[in-house]
Structure 1
């Protein structure tokens, strides 16, 4: 009897110890201390299914899906909660095939299992598969499963199907009605939403969904009128409209509404604080922050981020030091502020002093190093990062691509287990930026074979590649794909199409694209002006410039590069001089080297070499290789040996290894009968270790 009693006491103590450990494990996981939670889990001598489920949920919540799956696969005993947690985690992170595989293997499914699978497919837009799962659910289908399908239909624009299913439901509840309404309001279908709202069974959630819909579409007047009709608006109603005013930049209306609120929770204070941070002097935001009766991590992060963005880094640091609790987001905000001002060492000190790093914190530091051009440190940190997400990989790819190290960018790209559209775009745009246009188009074809869909950025990069290669037939194929993909109305893609057709000599088609664009930005006008310039149609370029002014679009520095280039190619000297001087007088734009190069080219082509040289001597900025190159080219055209010699000397200082400069000077000297100087220029190529490109092998 004594032994049995002792055994019971021991078992009870063990169960109590497991219970206490499970409670602590859950607390650590919910507070974001995942590493501490994992250490506790690994140290536990006894674990039960609750232990495994708590750790599984913690890993899934922090995005560590592969670790969660490994833990799930190694569980000695799984219950339905375990299966559901793993399927939900895979679903939430877009791993639909893996989620379905587990779902099909489940020994016992409950209503939650079916609902998760329907939601998984519906959220990804696979509505037929979602409906198939719903139809295969045995027995009486649960209301939650119906609601998930209704929400999927509504959010994907299939409102008729959502309404039909709603009518077919044996017992629709308020969630059913609101799921359909949410689909309408979130899709911006406010006319239909109003009609549906008037007919439906509604509660306060329904009123708030409608209010949020008006705010989302930017119709603040309708939102305000609708708010006035709510008999007893709750705090969510007030905060929704408050947030709408702040997002629309109506800070005075926001403050008036805030002052009229019968009760303010911390969310309302945070919305008002964020509005002040973005729309008012930072001092006003600090004053409001001081008045807040309760502050949470969002409050601290918002004000510290605002101070950092305003350049008040010391004040942000002082405020951070006053925090009574640890907040990774607030520290990350200050890190970001330091990195924006190239203060990488200060940011790293904060990073190294943090006990806990979340994924955003790691990515902020890595991205900061990339932006500061410290790629070696970025890579070391990337290699140390315990759980890299898609952002981490894509940041490193883009960093190396922008630095011209495409072999490293591709190396990282090939090591990725999964890639998204941003991954492909980073590589494709990297190839374009580094003049590897054929490689860019090749990777576009590889992308098309996979599951990732091209977006406007993909097409814009590929069209730039086509423009530089002057491959019109490929450009036309991309144009057709753009039409089919629905991205044809995107201004970025439209602008790239204009440039592509123009550079392929199809300026009429470029103009047609321009005329058909729904929204034209400054880049659109510049692309068309540059297109006319590159095709030698200076008069047409000037006409577009005048039309641009008439439409109230203010020209920028790029516009004047295009218009000056157009004048140069068309020999419009007086017009070119007029535009050059109007830059500073009328538009208050300071000429940069590209503008001077255009003017030197313009004067040089007209034989006004002395005027061109005087312009170079009078430059308020240091002449670059483009300016001296334009002068050297003009000297070659008009056989001015003396000025050519001077321009070549300046060029050799700026571009000591560029063979074409020496070849051009050699040719000018030879044409002038100065054979010694011609030989001397040719000898410089060998002396400076310059390799002549094949196209110049027979020069001189």
Structure 2
């Protein structure tokens, strides 16, 4: 054993001339001394050659061949295994495994060291299959492997992820008694960590008491790799209690665990141990920088970074990624520029971090500069960098540039690139392009992953297409992946197919809180609140812990119907769970109480929130306005301004709706000025609300100006303008606006057609009114409701075609309501049609007995024609049933 150990040391470490002579004396026949006096300087001495070249580490193929030639000439290869093994090692270290193999087969009697050199040589060249084959051949020829053999072959099995082969080596180790050897045990622990699971690796580690630091380092790093961070920290604690001295590798792994957990104070304690031990190297310094960066302490991270005497690419990437994570893109770019000036080698990980920093709408210039720099380097062909560029442009909103990058890389046939492009289309709501690209993937033989399928399902609103994707998911075996099944049930819920959605939910083997919340929201949004509550109870009985997402979902069910009592019960549950004051739950409670018209409770919850979000503020303001509490809505908005809360477009839209009910143009103008200062006048929702506000305040000119300031008007903006024109009697302008809206590619909705039909009514365009009314169902699939029928009745009534209006009402496929009959009654008053007016008034009072307007209108019709007795009789009927006409009032 001593013989083998000394030989192996000679093949793996540098040695001096004197040590070499003593080694030679051992490796051969002890009675023969091989040291001879060199009489001539030109005589080749292999010992001098070994010594000189080992010191300068010139393991080149040329030097190896020179040595090979001289050893052949002197016949030392056949007579001395030491020279053969040394030359074999030189070939391996010079990456010439073919020459090493040729030499190996010529060695008359190779020993264990010869085999070890070949096995480790293949390992070092990442030729792990060859390493395993050589080990198998070695064992089959009867050679007994030693600890170095087992260590090398275990590394090969680990790299190959060859579980069965690794288990065979493990059996050999147990059988031959090398289990307690630290070098072999470290290899076994590493193998089990990467191939058999961390629990088995931990069992192997604890099977034998070990004081070897390498084994401890291996199990700690394995815990970190498997995201068992607390286990890694506990192992480190036990290691210190055993008075084992951690090294840089130990500290680096433990600091990584602290960084992943966000345990800054614990990390500082480890750093103190590092300073005490005097451990210093670039990897340890990088781990400390990464700790501070991931814990958000960028100032400290920068200080530690500047103190590092040597920085590698990992160090620079750690500090850049820290700034990116913190959202400080400009600092990340500054460090990247410094990295370029320092001529540090840049890798794809660095670039993806910098590209992520540029993925912001206001950094389009920096993004394109970064792209230009990449095109000048070799990285433009890297699929990982290409995917990051596609994602960057998608987040900026420049999806056309994402497509250009993709077209330049689609020939790589890398599924990851295609998946990123599909998700980019999904992010930008380009559902047709996302589905089209998925179809291309399948036709070209690429297998989409779970993320790709989930992205397509998230933007799909077609039930038929969803079912087709569902079939593919079942065929490909992706249904058992949580993101895919969750996306499927959400799709079915969105399309109104709750039966299929619930079927997918029942078949899910694993349900996370998002899937429970999706199913609850699906039931709530489609009017099945009872099932939503039943599902919530089922979830609690299964032992699933409710979080903010689920409670917000069930509160949404309470808001939709509304169920105030149930909402209070959920509020109590949230209080017991200790999450009632969380932002998401608190906002959902405010919304629920607001929609249930319990505004005092809504305000009480709102005032108790430690952090108020924009959504809850907007809902409360909107609820105040809808319930006629305009002053409270404006005061709340003023309070938000004084508290320096960030005001978004949603809040501003809610305030504008409240102001529009006041018909006070002065307040609207003041708010418009503030909106202009904030730069939100071009926002679609804010601009649309300004249009409505000015319209209700009677200023159609300001209404048009507000519309012109909108950057990209959507159908809501156009509808607001059309309705405003119609309400101000500008029918022709309303119809022109409608045609412009269609040319811009905006699809009208039912509210748009109310404005269009009202415009036709004000201009007396009966034929145009019929055309647009029929166009609703024919061209856009919108079924008319009572408001649309009332507009048509108003159109016919203004044109004096009362009989046609009556016939139109009788032909309605839905039951006419009081609004339709009331519109006909108003037309009868204008044109003095007593008989039809009496019929219309009877229908209105039948549907809404407490409606004073119908009685008054009929009474006025009688009075206009001098039928005073009938008029008085109608007034008597009003007094008899207790209907009172509210007196009119004015701001003036």
Q: Tell me the TM-score normalised to structure 1 length.
A: 0.70
Matches within 5 A, 1:679-694: 679-694=872-887
- Pairing partner for 2:610 from 417, 421, 424: 417
C-alpha contact 1:181 1:197 (8 A) present in aligned 2 = no
- Pairing partner for 1:191 from 360, 368, 377: 368
The answer as to 2:823 corresponding to 1:630 is yes
Q: What residue in structure 2 maps to residue 227 of structure 1?
A: 409
C-alpha contact 2:757 2:769 (8 A) present in aligned 1 = yes
- Equivalents in 2 of 1:618, 1:297: separation in Å? 51
More deviation in 560-569 or 172-181?
Answer: 172-181
- Equivalents in 2 of 1:270, 1:604: separation in Å? 58
- Equivalents in 2 of 1:245, 1:624: separation in Å? 45
Alpha-carbon displacement from aligned partner over 1:623-670 (angstroms, at most 9, x marks no partner): 222222223333333444444333333222333333344344444444
- Pairing partner for 1:272 from 453, 468, 483: 453
- Pairing partner for 2:392 from 213, 219, 223: 213
For this pair of structures, how many residues does the alignment match? 589
Matches within 5 A, 1:310-389: 320-321=505-506, 323-324=508-509, 327-353=512-538, 354-359=542-547, 360-385=549-574, 386=577, 387-388=579-580, 389=582
Matches within 5 A, 1:525-536: 525-536=718-729
- Equivalents in 2 of 1:447, 1:311: separation in Å? 38
Q: CA deviation at 1:168?
A: 9.1
C-alpha contact 1:150 1:179 (8 A) present in aligned 2 = no
Higher relative CO (Cα under 8 Å, sequence separation at least 6) belongs to: 1
The answer as to 2:307 corresponding to 1:140 is yes
- Equivalents in 2 of 1:420, 1:256: separation in Å? 42
- Pairing partner for 2:676 from 469, 483, 491: 483
More deviation in 515-524 or 150-159?
Answer: 150-159
Alpha-carbon displacement from aligned partner over 1:419-460 (angstroms, at most 9, x marks no partner): 111111111222333444443333222221223222222222
Compared with structure 1, are the counterparts of its residues 306 and 459 closer, same or farther at alpha carbon in structure 2 (3 Å cutoff)?
Answer: closer
The answer as to 2:846 corresponding to 1:653 is yes
- Equivalents in 1 of 2:889, 2:870: separation in Å? 18
Q: What residue in structure 1 maps to residue 686 of structure 2?
A: 493
Alpha-carbon displacement from aligned partner over 1:37-78 (angstroms, at most 9, x marks no partner): xxxxxxxxxxxxxxxxxxxx99x99xxxxxx9xxxxxxxxx9
The answer as to 2:714 corresponding to 1:521 is yes
Q: Tell me the TM-score normalised to structure 2 length.
A: 0.56
Q: CA deviation at 1:172?
A: 9.7
Q: What residue in structure 2 maps to residue 461 of structure 1?
A: 654
- Equivalents in 2 of 1:507, 1:311: separation in Å? 40
Runs of 5+ consecutive residues of structure 1 not aligned to the other structure: 1-25, 32-56, 62-67, 69-77, 85-109, 120-129
Compared with structure 1, are the counterparts of its residues 312 and 430 closer, same or farther at alpha carbon in structure 2 (3 Å cutoff)?
Answer: closer
- What's the RMSD between the two structures over aligned residues? 4.6
Compared with structure 1, are the counterparts of its residues 306 and 672 closer, same or farther at alpha carbon in structure 2 (3 Å cutoff)?
Answer: closer
- Equivalents in 1 of 2:573, 2:616: separation in Å? 21
Q: What residue in structure 2 maps to residue 93 of structure 1?
A: none
Q: Which protein has the larger Cα radius of gyration, Structure 1 or Structure 2?
A: 2
Q: What residue in structure 2 maps to residue 3 of structure 1?
A: none
Q: Secondary structure at the match of 1:463?
A: helix
C-alpha contact 1:393 1:412 (8 A) present in aligned 2 = yes
The answer as to 2:348 corresponding to 1:181 is no
C-alpha contact 1:282 1:310 (8 A) present in aligned 2 = no
C-alpha contact 1:304 1:316 (8 A) present in aligned 2 = yes
C-alpha contact 1:401 1:430 (8 A) present in aligned 2 = yes
- Equivalents in 2 of 1:290, 1:408: separation in Å? 51
Q: What residue in structure 2 maps to residue 81 of structure 1?
A: 266
Q: CA deviation at 1:580?
A: 4.6
Alpha-carbon displacement from aligned partner over 1:587-614 (angstroms, at most 9, x marks no partner): 6654432233233334434554444434
Q: Secondary structure at the match of 2:399?
A: coil
- Equivalents in 1 of 2:685, 2:889: separation in Å? 37
Q: Secondary structure at the match of 2:719?
A: helix
Alpha-carbon displacement from aligned partner over 1:98-128 (angstroms, at most 9, x marks no partner): xxxxxxxxxxxx8678546756xxxxxxxxx
Compared with structure 1, are the counterparts of its residues 433 and 669 closer, same or farther at alpha carbon in structure 2 (3 Å cutoff)?
Answer: same
Q: What residue in structure 1 maps to residue 420 of structure 2?
A: 240
C-alpha contact 1:193 1:210 (8 A) present in aligned 2 = no
Q: CA deviation at 1:678?
A: 3.8
Q: CA deviation at 1:556?
A: 4.1
Alpha-carbon displacement from aligned partner over 1:236-268 (angstroms, at most 9, x marks no partner): 556434544676544454355468789x7xx92
The answer as to 2:468 corresponding to 1:288 is no
Compared with structure 1, are the counterparts of its residues 314 and 83 closer, same or farther at alpha carbon in structure 2 (3 Å cutoff)?
Answer: farther
- Equivalents in 2 of 1:82, 1:116: separation in Å? 11
Compared with structure 1, are the counterparts of its residues 286 and 588 closer, same or farther at alpha carbon in structure 2 (3 Å cutoff)?
Answer: closer
Q: What residue in structure 1 maps to residue 47 of structure 2?
A: none
C-alpha contact 2:480 2:509 (8 A) present in aligned 1 = no
- Equivalents in 1 of 2:479, 2:839: separation in Å? 71
Compared with structure 1, are the counterparts of its residues 461 and 316 closer, same or farther at alpha carbon in structure 2 (3 Å cutoff)?
Answer: closer
Q: CA deviation at 1:194?
A: 0.6
Alpha-carbon displacement from aligned partner over 1:77-102 (angstroms, at most 9, x marks no partner): x9923999xxxxxxxxxxxxxxxxxx
